[in-house]
Amino acid sequence: MIQPRLVALPLFLILLLCSLQAAATSVLPVSLQRMAKTAEMIFHGTAIGNEVRLDQASGRVATYTSFKVIEVIKGNPGEIHTIKQIGGQLPGSNVRQVIHGVPRFAVGKEYVIFLPKASSLGFASPIGLSQGKFDIHKLNGDTLVSNGRSLAALMKTRPQQDSPIEPSALASNRAPALKAIDGQPASAHLTDFMQAVRGMLNE
């Protein structure tokens, strides 16, 4: 049996190959308000397909994930929106590129996604990688959303002082309150979350 050949690429090589924006590739904590202000596109959608193929623009293995858009907060994703991320395993091949930190999406699951402007090669991973990917799940009949970080940390994080983001995009004490679910410090009600993000955009 042929074992898959792993090709692990460090994060700096992703930047070199894909020219991704710093906001999209940063692994430093990113506040919710900064994500909202700097995102090119924010939407709630269902992952409906993952396709891995050799990307003609970069010559690298890429994963194309398509979403059926349910609700738009920012930008114009259309009814179906597809993002291209570096990495994946080519079907019928032992070639696999593993990019640590690049989020993956399960078909059939719902997400709220914060996306930067796509790079010159068309790549666009969520802002802050997994930080810009919010999973939607059910708990006791409630629809909740979470990216795995506590809401307290998500709301309080401030960008670095040397951040290239304009002052209007920085997190502030005027950000709308977002209450965590009792016993679920990293989760909020989806409707409250969407309302809070819209409020941040209007500040």
Phi and psi at 22, nearest 5°, equal: -60, -35
User: What's the mean per-residue pLDDT of the chain?
Assistant: 81
**pLDDT tens, residue by residue, 100-135:** 889 999 999 999 999 999 999 999 999 999 999 999
Q: pLDDT (tens digit, 9 = 90+) per residue, 136-158? A: 999 989 999 999 999 888 887 54
Q: How far apart are CA 127 and CA 75, in angstroms?
A: 15
pTM assigned to the model: 0.77
For 81-109, the pLDDT digits (tens) are 999 999 988 887 777 777 888 999 999 99
What's the CA gap between 45 and 136, in Å, rounded? 10
